[in-house]
Copies of this chain bind each other. A is one copy, B any other.
Amino acid sequence: MTVHFQRELDSLKRKVLFLGALVEKSVQLAANALESRDTEMADLIIAEDRKVDELEVEVEEDCLKILALYQPVAIDLRIISAIIKINNDLERVGDEAVNIAQRVNIMARRPPVDIQFDYILMAEKVESMLKRSLDAMVNMDQDLAYKVCLEDDEIDDMNRRVYDKVKEAIGRQPERVGYLINLLLVARHLERIADHATNIAEDVIYVIDGVILRHAEDELKSTPD
């Protein structure tokens, strides 16, 4: 491939990284907003999602332009096709952060219930998966991508722990079921973000060696709670 193509591809990757940084920030702010019951911060996350949406459209247009202009083949073609999907995943991460923010706005209107679970820690782990899945993409680092995939189990465990805690808390305070279900669903939004990070890592692995990890993984996946 030409120098021009390489330059365009580098610029495309930079844009994807920027999109990644935007949605990572949203996830982090969403966890903080939850912790501090901060509806202003929640509203900010919801408003800022427009930028994520705009950038997603831009990245997709860039991918189509590059395909039409350079007509890449083999690995270069696979990279562009993976970026089309990664871009899609990142936009949905933004949507999950918005979902959390919307739940924060609902919960902030009611007295808090503490289930003794560290959502900030869970969000940090999820953000780190996301960040490293994108690092793996930029550096075409297969080992790192595999590591990210493995961490998904840890997040699933955390999600299950929230489920147990919420179930227990509903037993003690059945009148707070609405609030508690919102807490459960926040953990599920975080878990979905980890799934998107895993999708990204799997796309990177797929690009590198054509191993279809995704579906082998599916078979190993444990049953939900």
Q: What residues on B are CB-neighbors of A112 within 8 Å?
A: none
Q: What residues on B are CB-neighbors of A190 within 8 Å?
A: none
A84 at interface (Cβ–Cβ under 8 A)?
A: yes
Q: What residues on B are CB-neighbors of A223 within 8 Å?
A: 102, 105-106
**Nearest-Cβ distance from residue A171 to partner chain B, whole angstroms:** 6
A170 at interface (Cβ–Cβ under 8 A)?
A: yes
A88 at interface (Cβ–Cβ under 8 A)?
A: yes
Chain A facing B: main interface SS = helix
A57 at interface (Cβ–Cβ under 8 A)?
A: yes
Q: What residues on B are CB-neighbors of A150 within 8 Å?
A: none
| Interface footprint category on A | 35 or more
- Which of B71, B84, B103, B214 is the one whose CB lies under 8 Å from A81? B84
A150 to B41, CA, bound (A): 30
Between A and B, 12 residue pairs with Cβ closer than 8 Å are A50-B219, A56-B215, A60-B81, A67-B67, A84-B84, A88-B88, A95-B218, A103-B224, A105-B223, A167-B181, A171-B174, A181-B184
> A residues engaging B (CB < 8 A)?
49-50, 53-54, 56-57, 60, 63-64, 67-68, 71, 73-74, 77-78, 81, 84-85, 88, 95, 98-99, 102-103, 105-106, 163, 166-167, 170-171, 174-175, 177-178, 181, 184-185, 212, 214-215, 218-219, 223-225
